[in-house]
Structure 1
Amino acid sequence: MEKQSEIMRHLIILFLLISFSATAQYKYAFGARFDGSPGITFKVNKGKKASLEALLNSFGNGAKGTLLAEWHQKAFSTGQWRWYYGVGGHAGAANRYRNRYYYDNYVQVGADGILGLEHTFSEIPLNLSVDWKPELNFINNPGLYVTNVGFSARFALKK
């Protein structure tokens, strides 16, 4: 409980320190992503219509990294809402677990797509998004996985 309150205090301090940078559009955004396994997200806008997003999330008892190129379009006639879509790839590594022992390495490599909607608040440095991110695995468990829906909350730092 004490550790959680300490984390909340740090998040509030961080939020207050960067609140001066509130904007409808942002240059950098970082935060948490919640889907099948929680992770972190870092997004860099490369202009009004393009961005790069890096995701890192848990993968079994290992980690998986994803890099996406994304393109944006204005949604709902406002600059605060944007549709985005993109492509990229992922790689992950973990140890397999069986009978209380880790017994070999497990690697996963594949291609990703993404389709989502994001909102960036103009009053506070917060960006929220919901997206669908299908994956096509080439190595270990090959196949198309289409059930990956995620929600991200990011601190948005202006240009």
Structure 2
Amino acid sequence: MKPLKESRRVAERFKRIHILKAAVCIAAFFFLSGAIAQSYKSAVGSRASYGGLLTYKHQLNAQYFAEGIVAIRWGGVEFTALIEKSQKAFHNENTFWYIGGGMHLGFHGRDNTINPPEAKNTTTYINLGADLIGGIEYCFPDFPINVSIDYKPSFHFTGDRWFVGEGIGLSVRYVLK
């Protein structure tokens, strides 16, 4: 039985290393390539994802944006802060790829383990971790709306579940300019 546990542990470590290597390679590609500025300074809206609720995005300079996300999950609330690099996509002035990373902090009524949502737990858990994000965004040229779809996996430093991969999201934002 002991060799089986050891082989599972080695397999998990192998998966983690390859996921992180892939993320670093993708990030390097985007960060080393040129970018074109998007057509807005700030936008606020809604994010439809597992636990997603609100999103705010602000342009830091011609290539970089800061994004904040508030999510309701695991019987609590989670705050995520991201830095994203943007680049024009498909030779279209209104479509952009973006990739980035950041951190999250959450307070939950149950642990981020693989418990069913109806599990009774009166303990409050603190969830701290790192996030990656990559997606595509379209800015409508004639009215102040932008739409994005992305993938935002999370890596937890606390709790029992080290990786949360259900981070596909659709955001619709009102452009504040």
- Return the TM-score normalized by structure 1: 0.79
Q: Distance in 1 between matches of 2:39 and 2:148?
A: 14
Equivalent of 2:141, from 104, 117, 122? 122
| Aligned residue type for 2:61 | G
When you count strand as a share of all residues, which structure comes out higher? 1
Q: In the TM superposition, what is the alpha-carbon distance from 1:124 to its structure 2 partner?
A: 0.6
* Structure with bigger RCO (C-alpha 8 Å, 6+ apart): 1
| Aligned residue type for 1:73 | Q
Residue 151 of structure 1 is matched in structure 2 by 170
| Aligned residue type for 1:65 | F
Q: Distance in 2 between matches of 1:63 and 1:147?
A: 17
Unaligned runs of 5+ in 1: 1-23
Unaligned runs of 5+ in 2: 1-37, 111-117
Does the 8 A contact of 1:59 with 1:93 survive in 2?
no
1:36-77 Cα offsets, whole Å, 9 max, x none, are 123100000112210000000102221000000000010011
Asked if 1:40 corresponds to 2:54, the answer is: yes
Residue 4 of structure 1 is matched in structure 2 by none
Residue 69 of structure 2 is matched in structure 1 by 55
1:2-55 Cα offsets, whole Å, 9 max, x none, are xxxxxxxxxxxxxxxxxxxxxx71100000001112310000011221000000
- Return the TM-score normalized by structure 2: 0.71
Asked if 1:87 corresponds to 2:101, the answer is: yes
- Matched residues, percent identical? 32
When you count helix as a share of all residues, which structure comes out higher? 2
